């Protein structure tokens, strides 16, 4: 089967198109014929080697974290899916590889595709949808009437998180460029800050939750918009000791996360707010809870551009440019 692999780590390394055998199916997995694959900034960071401490993939390996397609084979212990089912998924770490014609995915990480979506639209959902769900629902327990600041509202996670937060009854603030203000308001944002000319730290006050996806300076500023007892969740780092514990990391990873997150944890403690790092994980059950929200129209996918499979490197470059509104997708079939 045709795949795109990371042959060696590096920011300027292109993915290599090559042919490899179809993946071997484990007894608790399904084999998915890939119709479309989402492209994420995480793919770029893994290729460049930024996550080697957390995810030490041995090269060469197939990249890709989002998939929508059709099941062509099931392992002998699989009970919830059958051949012919249209599904979508974010495969587990160390079993990624959706930039391919076929991918094997654990049954527990798969959900039936929303009936009202195309394969390309469905492939745009899993990673960003699970990130938003795990941050807002699982960790923060966001409630009706609370205020949440979701950074980068026109990005992949931002577009989904805004819609989910509004569905949960929250008041939503976000940042974006001047050309996207009306657009993110259409997604449900109540307060939209033009990051090019306004300082969100001076506009927003007494928020219950911040979902940070930007750099360290923005992370530090975010503490100041929270009320006492508020929560700061970052999906862009730095990882904290609790994260290292959750993945049963080695001692040097625990030490590194303690050092890297010391500054933000100290500032958060001084303001009586809680800081945590979120590295989303595969979860088919949560994806199944997201599906009806899409089918009823509460959340709609936002796809910026669809690239052909042969243009996977161009799709990754488009994501890295930061110009995409919503998600970038590769059409494999």
Domain ranges of the chain: 2-125+301-331, 128-277
Residue with token string 């050309």: 179
Q: What is the CATH number of domain 2-125+301-331?
A: 3.90.180.10
* pLDDT of 81: 98
228-277 confidence digits (pLDDT tens): 999 999 999 899 999 999 988 899 999 999 999 999 999 999 999 999 99
What pLDDT, in 10s, does the model give residues 7-53? 999 999 999 999 999 999 999 999 999 999 999 999 999 999 999 98
Estimate to the nearest angstrom the gap between the alpha carbon of 44 and the chain centroid.
Answer: 13
Q: What would the two tokens of residue 181 be?
A: 């203000």
Q: What is the pLDDT of residues 125-146, one digit of tens each?
A: 999 999 999 999 999 999 999 9
For 133-195, the DSSP string reads HIIIIIIS---TT-EEEES-TTSHHHHHHHHHHHHTT-EEEEEE-GGGHHHHHHHT-SEEEET
Cis peptide bond N-terminal to 198, omega within 30 = no
Q: What is the CATH code of the structural domain delimited by 128-277?
A: 3.40.50.720
Contact of 150 with 176, CB cutoff 8 Å: no
């Amino acid at each position: 089967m045709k795949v795109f692999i990371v042959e060696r780590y590096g920011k300027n390394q292109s993915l290599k198109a090559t042919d490899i055998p179809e993946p071997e199916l484990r007894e608790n997995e399904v084999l998915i014929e890939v119709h479309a694959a989402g492209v994420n900034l995480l793919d770029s960071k893994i290729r460049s080697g930024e996550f080697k401490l957390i995810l030490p993939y041995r090269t060469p390996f197939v990249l890709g974290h989002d998939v929508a397609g059709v099941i062509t084979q099931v392992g002998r212990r699989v009970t919830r899916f059958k051949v012919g089912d249209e599904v979508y998924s974010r495969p587990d770490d160390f079993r990624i590889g959706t930039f391919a014609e076929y991918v094997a995915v654990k049954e527990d990480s798969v959900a039936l595709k929303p009936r009202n979506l195309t394969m390309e639209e469905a492939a745009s959902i899993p990673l960003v949808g699970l990130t938003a769900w795990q941050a807002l629902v699982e960790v923060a327990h966001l409630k009706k009437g609370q205020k949440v600041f979701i950074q980068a509202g026109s990005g992949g996670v931002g577009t989904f998180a805004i819609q989910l937060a509004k569905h949960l009854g929250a008041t939503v603030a976000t940042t974006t460029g001047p050309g996207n203000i009306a657009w993110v308001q259409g997604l449900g944002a109540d307060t939209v800050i033009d990051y090019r000319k306004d300082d969100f730290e001076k506009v927003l006050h007494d928020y219950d939750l911040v979902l940070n996806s930007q750099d360290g300076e923005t992370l530090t500023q975010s503490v100041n918009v929270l009320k006492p007892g508020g929560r700061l969740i970052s999906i862009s780092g730095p990882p904290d000791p609790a994260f290292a514990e959750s993945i049963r990391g080695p001692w040097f990873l625990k030490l590194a996360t303690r050092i890297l997150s010391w500054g933000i944890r100290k500032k958060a403690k001084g303001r009586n707010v809680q800081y945590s790092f979120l590295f989303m994980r595969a979860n088919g059950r949560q994806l199944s809870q997201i599906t009806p929200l899409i089918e009823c129209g509460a959340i709609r996918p936002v796809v910026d551009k669809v690239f052909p499979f042969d243009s996977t490197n161009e799709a990754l470059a488009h994501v890295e440019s930061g110009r995409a509104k919503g998600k970038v997708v590769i059409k494999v079939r």
